[in-house]
Structure formats: C-alpha cells, structure tokens
C-alpha cells in the first residue's frame, strides 16, 4: 500500500489537505482514485489509514480513518557528514534514512570542497526513503555548519563515534561494546579526510569514541553506511543491544 509523509496532525476523522506535488504524485503517478486507501504518517502520531478525496482537477485531500501502527521511538543516533559531491551526498541521505538515523547534520571542514547544498532536495530524498522503508518518521537534514563550531558546542551527554582513518583506533564493534544508553552521533569526514588540527580537536572531546572501519580507505558514502550498520548492530535496533 502507498505510504505518504504529511506535516499535518493525524487523528480519526481529520482532513489533510495535500500539497500540489503530493496530489500529483498520488493521482497522476500512482493513479490512485478517489476513495482508495493509503497509509500516512507524520513522525508524531503513528501510521494511519486514510482515503483520497479529489478536489478539482489538480488538488486533493485525505480523510483520515483509523490508526494502523502507534508511534515508536527511533534509535537516538545522528549522522554528521562533511559535504561531499552531490550524488554521493544524496546516496548518504537515502541510505542513512533506510538505516534508521534520527537526524542528518551537514558539516564543512578545512578540506571540504563545497560549502552549500540543496537542503530541500536532500530533505525530500529523506522523506521518500522513509515512505519506502516503513519508518514512522523522516529524519531532519540540517546545516551546513562549520565543524569547529559544532565541536565547540558539543553536548557532554552525546557520545561521538569518530570514524578515524589514521589507523590507531580500535575496530568499531569492539569500541561500541559499552551499554547503549544516551544519545550518539556518528562523524564522517570529507573526501580528503580531517586535518591534523581537526582530528586533535575531535579526539580531545571527552565524549569522542574513535573507531576504525577496517584496513581499507573508504569513500564517504561507504563509510557512512558501514558506520551506521555497525552502530545499529552493536547498540541500535538491529538486535545487538
């Protein structure tokens, strides 16, 4: 059944006015007819069954009927990723959403080649991935922000899984054997790696947990996917915690 993320509050009997893009997608791409059912979610109130109601040739709305799944908490892990080339960044956002990340934060570093990106497009990719994977929420995509500024305001209660390419960090699964309690973040560097000063600043954080992703140099998209998978297996909802 078609799933659709919406901004509106959801409750039995509620009417949800669709944005034009959503109406076009349901009526013209998916060929959903008035009266047919779909599933909707907003990240707050679970997943609901709703029915499409046509409103003219272009517009449409949803009539919310009943709760299908109550809202559940997602793993408390954020992905912090230095800006990389557009195609790879879009892959990272898509796969991080599929892997259950709560939030995605974009960073600029000393070796970052770009300082801006299309946040709207990245957020749309995250929403689409959430719709396709059965999530009850969609992660926010934030930034870009300078790494130095983000580190300066680092909350003490959030542990930072730092994927350190220098080669002297323990293997990820061994480093993540501690109890899962509390929020986590995973930090992935740019294509040129972190500068020595940045690496020293990250390691100086009491909350930092340096890890190795293996003996080979990984591209940023591969590193992000690998790190999230390892964190989920050790501490997340893959059954390891």
CB atoms within 10 A of CB 163: 22
Count the residues in the chain.
241
Q: Which of 202, 119, 199 is nearest to 166 (CA)?
A: 199
Given this model, what pLDDT does residue 170 score?
A: 64
**H/E segment holding residue 95:** helix 86-98
Superfamily of domain covering 3-69? Hypothetical PUA domain-like; domain 1 (2.40.240.20)
CATH 2.40.240.20-classified regions of the chain: 3-69
The CATH T-level fold of domain 77-235 is: Alpha/beta knot (3.40.1280)
pLDDT at position 167, please? 62
Asked if 109 and 76 count as a contact pair (C-beta separation under 8 A), the reply is: no
* pLDDT of amino acid 241: 42
241 residues of the chain, pLDDT tens digit each: 999 999 999 999 999 999 999 999 999 999 999 999 999 999 999 999 999 998 767 789 999 999 999 999 999 999 999 999 999 999 999 999 999 999 999 999 999 977 678 999 999 999 999 999 999 999 999 989 999 999 999 999 999 999 887 667 666 666 776 555 789 999 999 988 899 999 999 999 999 999 988 888 899 999 999 999 999 988 888 864 4
Produce one character per residue of 35-52: b if its CB has 16 or more CB atoms within 10 Å, e if not: eeebbbbbbebbbbbbeb
pTM of the model: 0.91
**Which pLDDT does position 228 carry in this prediction?**
95
* Domain span(s) for CATH 3.40.1280.10 in the chain: 77-235
């Amino acid at each position: 059944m078609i799933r659709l993320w919406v901004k509106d509050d959801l409750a039995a009997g509620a009417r949800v006015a669709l944005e034009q893009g959503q109406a076009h997608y349901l009526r013209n791409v998916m060929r959903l007819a008035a009266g047919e059912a779909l599933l909707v979610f907003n990240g707050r109130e679970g997943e609901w069954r709703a029915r499409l109601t046509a409103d003219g040739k272009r517009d449409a709305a949803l009539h919310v009927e009943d709760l299908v799944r109550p809202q559940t908490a997602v793993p408390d892990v954020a992905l912090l990723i230095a800006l990389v080339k557009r195609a790879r960044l879009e892959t990272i956002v898509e796969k991080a959403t599929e892997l259950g990340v709560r939030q995605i934060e974009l960073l600029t570093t000393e070796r970052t080649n770009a300082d801006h990106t299309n946040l709207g497009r990245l957020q749309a990719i995250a929403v689409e991935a959430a719709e396709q994977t059965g999530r009850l929420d969609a992660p926010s995509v934030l930034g870009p922000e300078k790494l130095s500024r983000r580190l300066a305001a680092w909350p003490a209660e959030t542990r930072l899984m730092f994927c350190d390419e220098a080669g002297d960090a323990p293997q990820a699964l061994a480093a993540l054997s501690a109890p899962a309690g509390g929020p986590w973040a995973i930090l992935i560097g740019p294509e040129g790696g972190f500068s020595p000063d940045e690496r020293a600043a990250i390691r100086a954080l009491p909350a930092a947990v340096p890890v190795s992703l293996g003996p080979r140099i990984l591209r940023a998209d591969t590193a992000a996917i690998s790190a999230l998978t390892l964190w989920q297996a050790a501490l997340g909802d893959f059954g390891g915690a």
